[in-house]
Chains A and B, each alone.
Chain A
Amino acid sequence: MTMQRRTFLQAGAAAASHLLVVSSQPAAAQTDGGPELRLALIGGGYQGRNLLSAAMAVGGVRVQAVCDIWEYSRRYCRSFLQRYDQEVQLYEDFREMLDKERELDAVLVATPDFVHEPQVSACLEAGLHVYCEPMLAHTLDAARSMIDSMRRSGKLLQIGYQRRSDPRYRHAQEKLIAEAQLLGRVTVVQTQWAQEAADLRGWPKRYLIPDEVLHRYGYEDMHQFRNWIWYPQYSSGPYGAFVSQQLDVCQWFLDVAPRTVMASGGRDFFTDRPGLDTVLSVYEYPHSLGPVRVSCAMLTTTSGDGTRQFERFLGTQGYLQMSDNPRWARIGREPNAPDWDEWIKQNYVVKQERVAAHAAKEDELDVHVSGEVEQYQFPVMTQASGCQAHLENFFQAVRGREPLRCPADAAFPSQVAAFKAIEAVQAGATVTFAPSDFTT
């Protein structure tokens, strides 16, 4: 059942239906928590703009500088921040920004993977805390170097695996999986990341970046700058960017790193792009209760059945489907599993009322179809986007009030898992992980 609109629009409905409204403080009230944090943003593209929007919604921050090599993005960010009465300094070069901006507390990094390591390490070494969009880097060596910088500097490095701060995911991991063990023995996990086929990205002609500027910052040309995700010299491709986020959920929920991966993939549709457009991978995780096989589908040519992204944990007692879109999150109890009345009472799950085809009359036996999976809902409702919640955690950690939910070293295993799947595609063979692969 799709949650009805009014269920979450009305504050009163939350209590009535046992929904927990998480982070219910309106944003303006959250600004009481101490002095404003002074921020800079490096990378004002699509994700950078999301970060700005989320940061404004969290409140208690002032963005002092925005750095992007593209004038179009710089102008957008300045105009966006002016609406919040925030005047920013604009920079093309992050080193110049770090030289001139001496009053910063933290930097948000939303640039292509291949520049994460120099940018993040420079920020950390300048004594700034950093929030960095995933992947950590385009190579594992660069990722290790970032973690090394984090440790040497003693500063925070949060990786933007925002599901770790999503209240629904946290409820699932802490309450349903770790505490109640509601799913029994999890044997299989299925993940899907799918998006419909899309053209390569263009740019407004009047905002073309001159070649000498692009070359100075490591890009071959404007086309590659706009479509960096498809080029191996800049990133690990859509698989790294998107599936690694789901692998991070597996790592977090299963609390173990993978042992092997086999994978098949190719440039099946977009022959004009060097990156893989389709990848199907299967990992084996050596869980303490027995092996868990995780299949990951990365599809860039179809939105699937419309349920674009999910991570589905299948256990002997039930299943759990997670998604960053709340509409696609659901829970179910296996037909022959013990009832979940105790967990309903404790508000760990909310039973979804079934709608009868017709109401049974008094003299009629009310016989339900047997063998059906009983559907349940999460008793958690989110006030903020995952991005906002994750940023909020970062800001609170900078203020010393919470631990980071996804420090770089915690994110590292999913980077390794993603890179090894690409290696398995290229090798056409099963790849076995060595313990040293996960060493940082």
Chain B
Amino acid sequence: MRTEPGHVTLYRQAMATDFSITIAYPDHQYARQAAAEAFRELERLEGRLSAFREDSDLARIARLQSGQTCVVDPATHACLQVALDVEAATGGAFDIAYRSQPHRAASKRIRLAARQPQVTVLVGDTDLDLGGIGKGYALDHLASILADWDLHCVLLRASKSTVLARHAPPERAGWEVRFGTATDVWTLSLREMAISGSGSDRQGPHIIDPHRGRPARAHRLAYATAASAAAADALSTAFVVMPDDAIRQYCQRYPDSAAYVVPAGSGLLRVLHEPPTMEAVALSP
């Protein structure tokens, strides 16, 4: 835990990631207790979404044969729905089934029931990877619990890659978030918005282009903003895969999202799209 004037920050490891919750609220004990409740929910969520637990929803889906259905937690269902939505919106550049063999997009492999949290597998051996969306989804979930506690001036992080901001801290326009590359640092004032970054800088070329089945080459790094952390998380992964034109087309259709990319072989961030209400500022000379 770290306490600063007006803020308290709490940390928790889950989903092989460091999560943190920063709360601007004068009663730090109340804020700590709320964060503890949110982290308890995170534990539960990890049990459902984890690829490393044999009883998780994801593992259960992976064991289904073609045509079989299983009941999942509503949170798993909601996360899968966002994943399918982003897959559709990005023309398949984001695909949680990218490593299933033979390759068929997640939307062709699973069907989500509308009235109940049920998943039907259309093609057996469906191996889903929520690595590009699960942490963002978890942040959205944590924020909703903090809202129950009437804590709205909050900033939530999953590792250094995904950040979700709710209301601005008192007397500020937003939460200042830095992003970019080691040599090209930018800052953004974030409020009611999430930003997420993906790329090969930290983990090497681990993002697979679902269409080619090989590491993505369009961008070294990509950042995306969206109203939800799950969408921002998934979009940043897609933007690593998508060429500039495709990203611009996406942003024309969804103008509330911003897109920043670092081309392969470059150290400089480029702005592909920003909504009128948002302006990232370069800090480097």
Segment at the B interface, from A79-87, A236-244, A256-264: A79-87
Q: A46-B40, A326-B54 are in contact. Are A26 and B64 (CB under 8 A)?
A: yes
How distant is the Cα of A11 from the Cα of B65 in the complex, in angstroms?
Answer: 8
- Chain B residues 37-70 with CB under 8 Å of chain A are 37, 40, 44, 47, 51-55, 58-60, 62-65, 68-70
How distant is the Cα of A29 from the Cα of B115 in the complex, in angstroms?
Answer: 18
Contact B37 A26 (CB under 8 A): no
Contact A28 B118 (CB under 8 A): yes
The interface residues of chain A lying within 8 Å CB-to-CB of B30 are: 202, 205
Segment at the B interface, from A53-61, A106-114, A128-136, A357-365: A53-61
How distant is the Cα of A269 from the Cα of B7 in the complex, in angstroms?
Answer: 26
The interface residues of chain B lying within 8 Å CB-to-CB of A207 are: 148
B284 within 8 A of A: no
A102 within 8 A of B: no
B150 within 8 A of A: yes
How distant is the Cα of A200 from the Cα of B32 in the complex, in angstroms?
Answer: 10
- Chain A residues 151-205 with CB under 8 Å of chain B are 198-205
A356 within 8 A of B: no
CB distance from B113 to the nearest CB of A (A): 10
CB distance from B190 to the nearest CB of A (A): 25
A381 within 8 A of B: yes
- Give the A-B pair count, Cβ closer than 8 A: 104
A231 within 8 A of B: no
The interface residues of chain B lying within 8 Å CB-to-CB of A8 are: 54, 59, 63
Interface bracket on A: 35 or more
Contact A53 B73 (CB under 8 A): yes
A12 within 8 A of B: yes
Q: How many residues of B contact A (CB 8 A)?
A: 40
A72 within 8 A of B: yes
Contact A11 B127 (CB under 8 A): no
Interface centre among A9, A12, A381 (most CB of B within 10 A): A9
Contact B71 A28 (CB under 8 A): yes
Q: A11-B125, A202-B34 are in contact. Are A83 and B117 (CB under 8 A)?
A: yes
Q: A11-B62, A26-B60, A326-B54 are in contact. Are A201 and B33 (CB under 8 A)?
A: yes
How distant is the Cα of A378 from the Cα of B77 in the complex, in angstroms?
Answer: 31
> Looking across the interface, which residue of chain B has its beta carbon closest to that of A201?
B33
The interface residues of chain A lying within 8 Å CB-to-CB of B73 are: 53, 57
Contact B33 A382 (CB under 8 A): no
Contact B150 A206 (CB under 8 A): yes
The interface residues of chain A lying within 8 Å CB-to-CB of B58 are: 9
Contact A205 B64 (CB under 8 A): no
With beta carbons under 8 angstroms apart, the residue of B37, B54, B74, B124 that contacts A80 is B74
Q: A9-B62, A24-B63, A206-B150 are in contact. Are A382 and B55 (CB under 8 A)?
A: yes
Interface centre among A24, A28, A29, A46 (most CB of B within 10 A): A28
CB distance from B30 to the nearest CB of A (A): 6
> Looking across the interface, which residue of chain B has its beta carbon closest to that of A24?
B63
| In the complex, per-residue mask of A8-50: 1 if CB is within 8 Å of any chain B CB, else 0 | 1111101000000100101111000000000000000010001
With beta carbons under 8 angstroms apart, the residue of A11, A12, A24, A199 that contacts B33 is A199
The interface residues of chain B lying within 8 Å CB-to-CB of A199 are: 29, 32-33, 36
> Looking across the interface, which residue of chain B has its beta carbon closest to that of A59?
B71
Contact B52 A5 (CB under 8 A): yes
| In the complex, per-residue mask of A372-410: 1 if CB is within 8 Å of any chain B CB, else 0 | 000000000111110010000000000000000000000
A3 within 8 A of B: yes
Contact B40 A12 (CB under 8 A): no
The interface residues of chain B lying within 8 Å CB-to-CB of A85 are: 115-116
Contact A27 B71 (CB under 8 A): yes
The interface residues of chain B lying within 8 Å CB-to-CB of A200 are: 33
A6 within 8 A of B: yes
Contact B55 A204 (CB under 8 A): no
The interface residues of chain B lying within 8 Å CB-to-CB of A10 are: 62-63, 125, 127
Contact B29 A202 (CB under 8 A): yes
CB distance from A378 to the nearest CB of B (A): 11
B149 within 8 A of A: yes
Known: A29-B69, A204-B149, A381-B54. 7 other contacts (CB 8 A): A9-B51, A28-B70, A85-B115, A201-B36, A204-B150, A205-B150, A327-B52
- Pull 13 A–B residue pairs with CB atoms less than 8 Å apart, ordered by A: A5-B52, A8-B63, A10-B127, A26-B68, A28-B71, A84-B74, A199-B32, A199-B33, A202-B34, A204-B149, A204-B150, A326-B54, A326-B55
Q: A residues within 8 Å of B by Cβ?
A: 3, 5-6, 8-12, 14, 21, 24, 26-29, 46, 50, 53, 56-57, 59, 72, 80, 83-85, 198-207, 326-327, 381-385, 388
4 A-B pairs with least C-beta separation: A202-B33, A9-B62, A28-B69, A8-B54
